[in-house]
Amino acid sequence: MHISKILEEKKPCLSFEFFPPKTEEASQSLYTNMAELMPLKPGYVSVTYGAGGSTRQLTHDLLVKLKKETDLTIISHLTCVGSNKEETKQILEKYEESGITNIMALRGDPPKGQSHFEPVPGGFLYAYELVAFIKKHFPSMGVGVAGFPEGHPETPNRLKEIEYLKRKVDEGADYICTQLFFDNSDFYDFCERCEIAGIKVPIIAGI
């Protein structure tokens, strides 16, 4: 089920975000913790994508395991870091074959040692380009994007950030999940700016 459909149910929805384990010991710890969380009946869970695409295979393996062994609705994070368009398409094809139909499309942080983000040759510079690519080649996939109630460190002001966010929504994003915030007023102001800008998709508070 697409996340946007879950959000349409208009009832409280709890979700969890997991980081792909890098060792066998970490894997066992993760699955133990997941088993303890399942009685809370999460609406969905997401699996992150390591810096620089460093956990690409680990992310895929965890997603497939969750899909096969649970009834959870699953989101895979996908970034613009370290992959060109053809490689990104291959990743998405694997997800599609595994029944993964929800993607969180992110630009991602610059690789370690780089002060600013630069795409690989033939890659994506902005998250909205990744959103457009997914919607063009995998139109049946649900796509979420990130929002920044406290502003993005690379964006000159919060109004400009809303412009960038609207571009992602205009390219086909189905919902927005915010980054962590510490003051509820920042979130309320963010939602108001989205409404003024004509952004009508659901907004999830990331906490």
CA–CA gap between residue 174 and residue 91 (Å, rounded): 20
Looking up tokens 């060109």 gives 84
Q: Is there a catalytic annotation at residue 17?
A: yes
- pTM of the complete model: 0.91
Name the architecture of domain 3-204. Answer: Alpha-Beta Barrel (3.20)
CA atoms within 13 A on the CB side of 40: 14
**Distance between first and last Cα of the chain:** 23
Question: What confidence score (pLDDT) does residue 34 get?
Answer: 87
Question: pLDDT category, 12, cuts 50, 70, 90?
Answer: confident
Closest CA to 141 of 90, 200, 68, 76: 76
Question: What confidence score (pLDDT) does residue 64 get?
Answer: 87
Mean pLDDT in residue range 17-26: 84
Do 152 and 109 contact (CB within 8 A), yes or no? no
Question: pLDDT category, 163, cuts 50, 70, 90?
Answer: very high
Question: What confidence score (pLDDT) does residue 54 get?
Answer: 55
CA–CA gap between residue 49 and residue 134 (Å, rounded): 17
Per DSSP, 142 falls in state E
Mean pLDDT in residue range 58-73: 86
Residue percentage of the chain with pLDDT more than 90:
57
Closest CA to 163 of 123, 109, 126, 120: 126
Mean pLDDT in residue range 180-202: 96
User: Chain centroid to CA 33: how far?
Assistant: 22
Mean pLDDT in residue range 75-79: 93
Q: Sign (positive/negative) of CA torsion 128, 134, 139, 143?
A: negative
Question: pLDDT category, 101, cuts 50, 70, 90?
Answer: very high
Across 48-57, 92-101, 146-155, the highest mean pLDDT is recorded for: 92-101
Options 8, 9, 17, 163, the catalytic residue: 17
Q: 26-52: per-residue pLDDT in tens? A: 888 988 888 899 899 999 999 987 655
Question: What confidence score (pLDDT) does residue 179 get?
Answer: 93
Question: What confidence score (pLDDT) does residue 20 get?
Answer: 84
